[in-house]
Amino acid sequence: MTHPAQPKASHFINGEYVEDTVGTPIPVIYAATGEQIATVHAATPAIVEQALSTAKAAQKAWAKMSGTERGRILRRAADIMRERNHDLSVLETYDTGKPLQETLVADATSGADALEYFGGLAASLTGEHIPLGEDWVYTKREALGLCVGIGAWNYPTQIACWKGAPALACGNAMVFKPSETTPLCALKVAEILIEAGAPAGVFNVVQGMGEVGGALVTDPRVDKVSLTGSVPTGKKVYAAAAEGMKHVTMELGGKSPLIIFDDADLDNAVGGAINGNFYSSGQVCSNGTRVFVQKGIKEKFLARLAERTGNAILGDPMDEATSFGPMVTENQMNIVLGYIEKGKEEGARLICGGKRADMDGYFIEPTVFADVTDDMTIAREEIFGPVMSVLDFDTEEEVVARANDTEFGLSAGVFTKDFTRAHRVIGNLEAGSCFINSYNDAPVEAPFGGVKASGVGRENSKEAIKHFSQVKSVYVRMGDVEAAF
């Protein structure tokens, strides 16, 4: 019998499901059991062509609709997503292995927030009037045209919506390629947009690996590329986009610092470290994986952290009591286990976890290392799994310098009761998305994105509008044209 997660077909183009079984089969594996639950096929060149030409053709009419009309469709899609939250969350759990306890509150709901927020903004995208004596200039905020979205595997619904909603609000059309690891959820987003009244062709989904992504990025018809992925992929995609002088948004990886001062509320700081390392089993780009703890509270912090980490419930992700799921794939599990071995070899002190859980699926125990030093591999490289590194520090000046000593700059957090210090420290940290006495909140109203190697551009908030639109300036002369001859 066909598994309920199996989609009708691999791709969604021009308002309908499309299949081309000539494309390489991509198995979809449920991470909690290792069972194959679905198959999709990578897009063939014919499918890529169909998606791009359809989107190109649909974009102009979509951009000519009023912002109010476009916004209404996006907001209707948000309502449909919320009504179907349970089913969409189950699918997200099948796609990623993340526990239903999380997917019910963080995936379709976050996607719906983006559709609602950008739907609400669509009608207010205006230019300005610049008086110049009798003449004037007016500006228009226009769509970029045809946008390509490429997703990572950790938040397949959210990423499709965080890219699709602002793109469509601004009057662009999009071809979205989900990660080959989690290809299912974006198809539902495409289906819902059509149901909400979006014209066929304005949001299309094609499947495939890096080659399909590469074919989309290099196509001359494409005006913008928005990627969520790792830094190495980001460098390749950015370079390919630059060849065609295309706009980009790059949401890439991180190794973010979370700084906990002696005066911090201990339980809140521990909670922040848990949210910033173990949510989605650590598969979150903005995670605060370098936890700098001031020496005065170090042992108390570690004791409380170990105690609370012991309360994680590993198990069937479909059981709402489960609070900690598996790694997305066997391969990702092995990568993370490799980092754990490196941590042990390089002399970090294992506080808890440190191995594969003794159960089916790709589960790794939530792992904490203490006495981590700045030069250890686990403190330098993005692990993308449930591995927290705790480092000690003495002074504010020292910790800020060490926190900034990384190629990445996605996020940063500080826990302290001294507000002057909190703002000063955040002001000195090289990161795009920061937190004071909290960690990893990502409301659609707030800009999200990184500095340094962690990325270019911002998602969410009014900032995202700037990255999915461009300004046309029009000089209007009221008098005669003066010319030299």
| Binding-residue total with ligand NAD (CB under 6 A) | 28
Residue 185: active-site member: no
Pick one of 89, 154, 204, 294: the residue that binds ligand NAD (CB under 6 A): 154
Pick one of 28, 160, 259, 285: the residue that binds ligand NAD (CB under 6 A): 285
CA distance 399 to 405: 10
- 3-class DSSP state of 173: strand
Pick one of 71, 253, 282, 386: the residue that binds ligand NAD (CB under 6 A): 253
Least separation in angstroms between residue 149's CB and ligand NAD is 10
Question: Is 106 annotated in some ligand binding site?
Answer: no
Residue 459: active-site member: yes
Question: Is 352 annotated in some ligand binding site?
Answer: no
Which tokens sit at 138?
A: 């007016």
Cα distances (angstroms) measured from residue 11 to each of 41, 112, 113, 180, 191 = 8, 22, 25, 12, 11
CA distance 163 to 461: 12
Give the ranges where 210-284 is alpha helix by DSSP (H).
Answer: 210-218, 231-243, 266-278
276 near ligand NAD, rule: CB under 6 A: no
CA distance 250 to 453: 9
Question: Is 285 annotated in some ligand binding site?
Answer: yes
Task: Give the chain's radius of gyration (CA, Å).
Answer: 23
Residue 356 CA, distance from chain mean position = 26
CA distance 93 to 90: 5
In degrees, to the nearest 5, what angle opens at C-alpha 430 toward C-alphas 388 and 469?
A: 110
Strand residues in 362-410 grouped as ranges (E):
367-370, 387-393
CA distance 475 to 365: 63
- Catalytic site residue from 147, 170, 185, 285: 285
CA distance 271 to 288: 12
In degrees, to the nearest 5, what angle opens at C-alpha 393 toward C-alphas 390 and 399?
A: 100
Q: Which residue number, 151 or 361, has a Cβ lying nearer to ligand NAD?
A: 151
Which tokens sit at 302?
A: 């570690």
> Which part of the chain contacts ligand NAD (CB under 6 A), choosing from 2-10, 76-84, 194-202, 230-238?
230-238
> Greatest CA separation found in the chain?
86
Question: Is 343 annotated in some ligand binding site?
Answer: no
Residues 399-458 that bind ligand NAD (CB under 6 A): 410, 455
Q: Which residue number, 416 or 440, has a Cβ lying nearer to ligand NAD?
A: 440
**Binding mask of the shown chain, residues 134 to 153, with x at each position contacting ligand NAD by CB under 6 A:** ----------------xxxx
**Binding mask of the shown chain, residues 79 to 118, with x at each position contacting ligand NAD by CB under 6 A:** ----------------------------------------
Question: Is 316 annotated in some ligand binding site?
Answer: no
- Catalytic site residue from 251, 255, 352, 434: 251
Q: Cβ neighbours of residue 19 under 8 Å, at least 6 residues apart?
A: 9, 10, 11, 41
**Binding mask of the shown chain, residues 334 to 373, with x at each position contacting ligand NAD by CB under 6 A:** ----------------------------------------
Pick one of 6, 53, 230, 373: the residue that binds ligand NAD (CB under 6 A): 230
Pick one of 31, 121, 192, 252: the residue that binds ligand NAD (CB under 6 A): 252
Question: Is 342 annotated in some ligand binding site?
Answer: no
**Binding mask of the shown chain, residues 175 to 214, with x at each position contacting ligand NAD by CB under 6 A:** --x-xx----------------------------xx--xx
Q: Which residue number, 9 or 209, has a Cβ lying nearer to ligand NAD?
A: 209
Beta bridge partners of 3: none
Contact 182, 136 (CB under 8 A): no
For the chain, the first-to-last Cα distance in angstroms comes to 82
- Catalytic site residue from 163, 188, 255, 298: 163
Q: Which residues are annotated as a binding site for K(+)?
A: 29, 95, 452, 455
The residues binding ligand NAD (CB under 6 A) are: 150-154, 177, 179-180, 209-210, 213-214, 217, 228-230, 233, 236-237, 251-254, 285, 382, 384, 410, 455
Active site residue ranges = 163, 251, 285, 459
